[in-house]
Structure formats: C-alpha cells, structure tokens
Structure 1
Amino acid sequence: MVLALAALVSSAGCHVVYPGTKPGGPQPCVPPSVPRELSKVVLPDYIIEPPDVLEIEAIRLVPRSPYQLEPLDVVAIAAQGLLPEQQITGEYTIQPNGTIHLGFELGAVQAAGMSAEQLQANLDRLLNEAYRAPKVSVTLSQLGAQQQIAGEHLVAPDGRVNLGTYGRVQLVGLTIDEARAKLEAHLSTYLEDPKISLDVLGYNSKVFYVVTQGAGLGDGVVILPTRGNETVIDAIGQIQGLQSTSSTRMWVARPGGNSCGGDQVLPVDWLAITQRGDVTTNYQLLPGDRLYVSEDKLMAFDTKMAKIFAPLERVFGVTLLGTSTVRQLEGRNNGGFGGGF
C-alpha cells in the first residue's frame, strides 16, 4: 500500500500527459497566433440564436396613409378666424365613443373612422357655417391604440421574436445589422418608413464550459456566457476558484482540428499564470471552448480506496455487531442459570 501510494505521488509530479499524447511524447501543437492575454482578438459579428434576449426600441412609428383615426388618438387642431373666446386650437383626444369635444359652439364632432384630411374638411365645413372665411388644419399628434415596440424580446426556439400585433419575425442566423434591416422591412407593411434600434441584451447562445474532474465523485460542468474578453484565469474566477478535489493540471479543448492534424488541445500552466504573471498560456476563451480541470490524484486515490474498503467495513461492522450481540445474549443466559442454583 505504501509503495503504491509513493508511486502515485511520483507519477503525478513528474510528467503531464494531455489527451492525444503519450508520456514523454511531443506536446500538443499550439500555434503562436492563438489569442491569449495581452494579444486578444475581436470576435466576428455576433450571430443571433436562441435563447438570446434582444432589446428593441422603436425610434419612428408612423402609420401608413391613409390612416383612419381611432379612439384614444390625439389630434392637433389649429383654427384661425374665430372669436378669441371661441378658439379651438390645441390637442384633442378622441373619446371612446369616437368624438372630440370642441366647446359649446360646435359641441361633439365625430372623428373616429376618418383620416386627418377628412376630419379637417368636416371641421372646415362646420366652421364656415358659423364664421367668415375660417382656416383650420388637423394633424395626427399621438397614436393611442397603436402598440409600441420597446423592451426585451426573447428569441424563441424557432428563431423568431414576437412583436405583438405586428406578428413574429425570423431572426436566427442574422447579425445585428441584418436583423435590424429585416425588422424594419417587416414593419414597413404596417408603418410608414419605420426606424428601430436593436441590440443584444442577453448573450445566451454563445457559451464556453468549465469541466472539473471530480476525483471519483462525479465531474462538474459550469456553463458560462461568452462576452468576448474571458481568459483562463477569468473562467476559474467565475467558478469561485479551484476545488479541493482539483489539481493545477488543466487545458483548453477547442472544437475542430489544429494545423498539425490533431485535436486543438491548449495546455495551461496554472502556476505560471498565477505565480509568475506569465500570459503565455492564459488563452482567450472562444465560444464552444472546454476548459478542463483535472482531478487531484491523491484525492482520486483516496476516493477509490474508500469505495473499495467501505463495503468491507460495513460487512465487518455487521459481523462484529452480530458477534457482540450473541455474546451478550449468552452472557445473560449463563448469568440467569447461575442465579437459579
């Protein structure tokens, strides 16, 4: 047992063997162009995928003409040629019954169902009956019933975002600029030359993984979003450091092959990064990367021994318990017989 433990300690401290290599063989092929601390790269245009969260805000939402006025819309009316006490200049809200109230002289005037031009012609006719050569203009000031587009929008599993009464738009696989153009093109069927602003609020579809080997107690996987700036030490910091079952042996496994025809395995010298400030192996983490943290060999050995001896200890414990119980019963029986004589 002692010799096996000594051999384990010796082998754990001599050579680091990474996936795809043999002890004493060549190390993984790491090109010098791999991005790392102090030499990071800017990630390409972000591609929208589920379940990203988009922030969409409408800058210009004007209904297509001819627009029919609806209840709760606000119209601006400017009239000239009226008596000072009978001015009707200002903004008027269309009531739920579809009318606007223009004072005691004109009373309630029907507005809903008309365009602004039709309402202006109707008011011009009514004012000409009471005044000499009045002039009136009507413009739409505010939409009351039109749905506003603002806030967070989740990209659904089918790649669409929900715009309420304006329908759903497919945005998966598009960049931010392409998605903005597509949203404006979709809204143009309902609105006049719409303008929106679009940004990604939740970068949920681009992630990397930190895998910690559990020393025989089960591996752990932490999923972290990629924001374009994380390095190895950032990732370890986000999982609150190394665990008691972890060693300082780790590497980055990157999907795809390398220039040498093998797996993209980037060995990490944790002690150099933390104790010497060496940035050589503090790689920049890209979407899809796996930062693998190997187990502590002594902890793994202890766990393995515990798994082997724990069943034996339980068997011995049950045996000892049964033996002691039998002895106690025999002692009581012998004592009882002795007291009877």
Structure 2
Amino acid sequence: MLKTMLLLVLAVFLPFAAQAKEYTVAPGDKIHIGVADEPDYSADVMVRPDGKVTVPNSGEVQAVGLTTDQLKEAITARLKEYIRNPTVTVTVLGGNSKVFVMGGGVKPTVIDATQHATLLNVLTSLGDISGADLRNATVVRDGKEIKKDFHDLIVGSDTSQDIPLLGGDTILLPPTASNRGIYVVGAVNSPRLVVYREGMTLLEAVLEAGGFSKFASPNDTRIVRQLDGQEQVIKVKAKKLIRDGDLKQNVVLQGGDLIIVEESFF
C-alpha cells in the first residue's frame, strides 16, 4: 500500500517538478546552431554521448547540462576566435530520442529509440557481443536500474526478459574481463564509462564524468556492486564529503562498479 501511495504521489508531482526546471541539453538532442551571415559556421548537430557538440569549422564545445542560453554563450566564446562579434542562436530541434549502448563489452553506440525499439532488437543489431558479460548487463532509465537477464534473452530466447526501450535509456554491457571500468550515470554532467584505476574513489570517478550536475542530489548517490554473484548497494552521502570533508563517504571503488546519482526534484 505504501509503495502504491508513493507511486501516485510521484505521478502527480513529477510533471510539475520537471516543468519548473529550465530545459538542459542532453545526449542525443538534435540542435541547430545558427550564426548570422556565416553559413559555414551554421549547422544541425547531434549531442554526442560524451556530452559535446561539434561546431562547424571551430571545434568542440561541452553541451550536456547547459541551457540553450548557456550553450549559446559557450559557442559564441569559441567562435570569437574565428569571427568578429558573432551573433549566435541555439535551438533544440528534437529531444532525447536515443538509446545509448556503452561498456567495455562493446563499442559505444547511439541508436534511434523508435516506438518499436526493444532490448532484444537493439542487442541483436550490435553484431558481435561475445565480449560482453550478459549476466551482469543492465538497462539504466532515469537513474534507476531495470534488471533483466540479457543472457537468457539472447542465448535462451526467453522473451519475458525483453522490454520496450525509451529515449534516454542506457544499456550497460560490461566486459567479461575482471578489470572493468566504472559506470557513472544519472545527474552528472557527462555520463560515461570511466577507466578504472587501482585505488580509485567515488569522487575521482564523478569528477571524470564532469562532476555533479546542478540538478543532482549528491546525498542520494549509490554504488551498485556485483560481489560473488550478489548485488550490493552502497549508499553514499556525497554532499557530506564535498561540504564537510567526510572522507568516509569517499568510497574506494572496484572495477565494474555502477555509480548512480539521483536528481533533486526541488
């Protein structure tokens, strides 16, 4: 009953919380960069999984986590190296309709999330996935894991493990090797697979993923770890680490850890 009530409350309040935020650019967004009287510097571009956009004839600019006004300012600053007093407009042409595939088990890929896109369709479109650990693969949606058995879906043809995919979903396919990377997803500025180093800590991994976004709730950070075939969840109050220097919160990571940073709704 309590769970049902919580879901009803979220269903009512989440749309209003989302509307209260100014839209920020996300991976997979299609953006028009317009530069007055400079067609060679104008184009429709896609925001890449690493959070950057390529501005024609002038290089890359970090885009994820910025509002359109902030991105316009960043692009304007870049173009001043090439154009005198550039007049720039930035328009989001399409929201996040992409599914991201990442992890050391496959090459990072961006796929269109059509209304017919399913987990099985995407996995079979990837080609050789023999280097991926299907037993420990997962889908991350809105900062939360959706647990499905990829091995049973692919090898055992168990279609009960198949699910429809939505824009913004991330499929994490870890490598079979023991020395895996660290996955950092959720409310960070540049969600990514971070190369694991012996002794790496939570804060180091988050900083390599661009740091906490302005909508992050650092105290609602968790580390999901596979240990002897069992899933272990470590809750971290990262704000205490940043604000108070509480080093107990700076957990030492293991290869293959998944760091999920929740958004703050207020």
What TM-score, normalized to structure 1? 0.28
Q: Which has the higher contact order (CA 8 A, sep 6+)?
A: 1
Structure 1 or 2, whichever has the larger Rg, is 1
